[in-house]
């Protein structure tokens, strides 16, 4: 049946009969987990949108109404709010796996993935504003004010975002419309991301061409993904039923009050690394540039020179640098929760510098280790024929031996 129907045939080639490397590990499960997170967030979000009122005077009360009066509303809201944390946890693991195994050399797939990440951050930020609690209001005020640092067009851009001269009713309506529509744009980008991934083929832990050892995606990896999905959904349900406010800020349980500024304003945990970088720069424009750079720097990774091995699995120096980067990311997240005072302020500055320093040191470690192990002549060739270049090498000793035999 699926081979006679044209649509099912295409769908089968994408999901069912797709050749996949035989040695994929659990680190390749996060892509499917992200797809499940996206579906869950859209489903729960649509059901809540029926009861939500995007007006300053009623937004907070409408959320309370969903939690207390709507049948199952407490579950929908808790699953949606905590699902965002699972979404970002999976995407950070997905990006980390891509950096470790050099997936950024699949240029088109990586660039679309980075765009997905940026759009997801915008969706999450606008969604955080919608409950119109105290932290929602002041978070929107602080973050949108950052655009005023842009020369010439900054103040006009802020007024356009606000729909007036301050964060108010027009702002909330605009954020709600964006938060409602953007996930469907995200679904299109996910489709493009998958198309590019299937065109180039998936990487694998060995970093070698695995076409000869490919296996059908079903049933080998369908079952493997199901295990990860069951674990993630089980963990989400455990939090929703037992600790639904685990990732929530207590300040946001108070209705927004423009006349009372919270003592410590902080975003959700998945934005804290960028927030720490922002506040570590004393200059406003410099802080905004560092904030944007902390995310947009992912776009330059495909420009790195190719290493001998596709990944850091054979390079202990690169592994040390990578895990130091992960540890530094955790430090940035923790410092973002702390007040701007010694010693947290100094630690945040150091961690911010180390964050950007990683993107300089990481590619250097490849050639440091390879030159220490091998004595090679490197050449870069377009082996795929699609603009993606691959590094090859020739051992100098072998070259000298061949020349010696020919001359003699």
User: pLDDT tens-digit profile of 329-370?
Assistant: 999 999 999 988 889 999 999 999 999 999 999 999 888 877
On whether 179 is known to bind a ligand per the annotation, the reply is yes
Catalytic-labelled residue, pool 225, 248, 307, 352 = 225
DSSP 258-315: TT---SS----GGGHHHHHHHHHSSSHHHHHHHHHHHHHGGGGGGGSPPPSSSSSTT-
DSSP code at position 205: T
Q: Which two tokens stand for residue 386?
A: 């699609």
Catalytic residue among 85, 268, 280, 306: 268
The per-residue pLDDT for range 46-80, each reduced to its tens digit, is: 999 999 999 999 999 999 999 999 999 999 999 99
Q: In this predicted model, what pLDDT tens digit does every residue of 254-270 receive, in sequence order?
A: 999 888 888 888 899 99
Residue 202 a catalytic site member: yes
Cα–Cα nearest to 111, from 123, 101, 103? 103
Give the residue ranges of DSSP H helices in 164-215. Answer: 169-200
**How does pLDDT run across 201-256, given as a tens digit for each residue?**
777 777 776 665 777 777 777 888 899 999 999 999 999 999 999 998 889 999 99
Amino acid 4: pLDDT = 65
Residue 376, pLDDT > 60, answer no
- As a whole-number percent, the residues of the chain with pLDDT over 70 amount to 86
Give 367-375's long-range contacts (Cβ < 8 A, gap of 24+). 367/305, 367/307, 368/317, 369/315, 369/316, 369/317, 369/318, 370/307, 370/308, 370/309, 370/315, 374/308
CATH class, domain 19-246, is: mainly alpha
User: Which one has a higher pLDDT value, 307 or 298?
Assistant: 298
Computed over every residue of the chain, the mean pLDDT equals: 86
What pLDDT sits at residue 11? 62
Q: Is 69 a catalytic residue?
A: no
**224 annotated active-site:** yes
Q: pLDDT-derived band of residue 405, with 50, 70 and 90 as boundaries?
A: very low
Residue 80 marked in a binding site: yes
Q: Which of 104, 92, 90 is nearest to 362 (CA)?
A: 104
Note whether 34 and 91 are within 8 A (CB).
yes
**Catalytic residue among 85, 103, 202, 210, which?**
202
The verdict on whether residue 264 carries a ligand-binding annotation is no
Out of 51, 65, 173, 198, which one is annotated catalytic? 198
51 labelled binding-site residue: no
What are the residue boundaries of the structural domains of the chain, listed by start? 19-246, 272-303+315-360
Residue 395 has pLDDT above 50, yes or no: no
The C-alpha angle with vertex 139 and arms to 133 and 143, in degrees rounded to 5, equals 155
Instruction: Check the annotation: does 193 bind a ligand.
Output: yes
- pLDDT tens digit string along 132-143? 999 999 999 999
């Amino acid at each position: 049946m699926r081979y006679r129907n044209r649509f099912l045939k295409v769908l089968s080639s994408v999901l069912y009969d797709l050749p996949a490397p035989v040695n994929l590990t659990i680190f390749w499960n996060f892509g499917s987990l992200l797809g499940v997170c996206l579906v869950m967030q859209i489903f729960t979000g649509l059901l809540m949108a029926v009861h939500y009122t995007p007006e300053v005077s009623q937004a907070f009360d409408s959320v309370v109404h969903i939690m207390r009066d709507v049948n199952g509303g407490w579950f929908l809201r808790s699953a949606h709010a905590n699902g965002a944390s699972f979404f970002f946890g999976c995407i950070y693991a997905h990006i980390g796996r891509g950096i470790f195994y050099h997936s950024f050399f699949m240029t088109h797939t990586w660039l679309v993935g980075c765009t997905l990440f940026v759009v997801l951050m915008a969706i999450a930020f606008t969604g955080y504003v919608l409950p119109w609690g105290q932290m929602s209001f002041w978070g929107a005020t602080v973050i949108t004010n950052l655009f005023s640092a842009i020369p010439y067009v900054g103040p006009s851009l802020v007024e356009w975002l606000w729909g007036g001269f301050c964060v108010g009713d027009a702002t909330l309506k605009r954020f709600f419309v964006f938060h409602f529509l953007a996930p469907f744009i995200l679904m299109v980008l996910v489709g493009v991301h998958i198309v590019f991934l299937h065109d180039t083929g998936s990487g694998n832990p060995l970093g070698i061409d695995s076409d000869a050892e490919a296996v059908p995606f079903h049933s080998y990896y369908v079952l493997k993904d199901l295990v990860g999905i069951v674990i993630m959904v089980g963990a989400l349900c455990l939090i929703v039923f037992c600790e639904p406010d685990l990732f929530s800020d207590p300040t946001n349980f108070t209705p927004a009050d423009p006349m009372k500024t919270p003592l410590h304003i902080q975003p959700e945990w998945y934005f804290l690394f960028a927030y720490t970088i922002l506040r570590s720069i004393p200059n406003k424009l410099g802080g905004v540039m560092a904030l944007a750079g902390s995310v947009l720097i992912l776009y330059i990774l495909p420009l790195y020179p190719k290493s001998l091995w596709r990944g850091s699995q054979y390079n202990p120096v690169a592994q040390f640098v990578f895990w130091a980067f992960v540890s530094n990311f955790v430090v940035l997240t923790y410092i973002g929760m702390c007040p701007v005072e010694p010693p947290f302020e100094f630690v945040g500055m150091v961690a911010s510098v180390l964050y950007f320093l990683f993107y300089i040191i990481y590619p250097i470690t490849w050639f440091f280790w390879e030159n220490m192990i091998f004595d090679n002549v490197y050449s870069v060739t377009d082996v795929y024929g699609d603009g993606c270049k691959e590094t090859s090498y020739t051992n100098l000793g072998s070259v000298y031996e061949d020349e010696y035999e020919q001359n003699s």
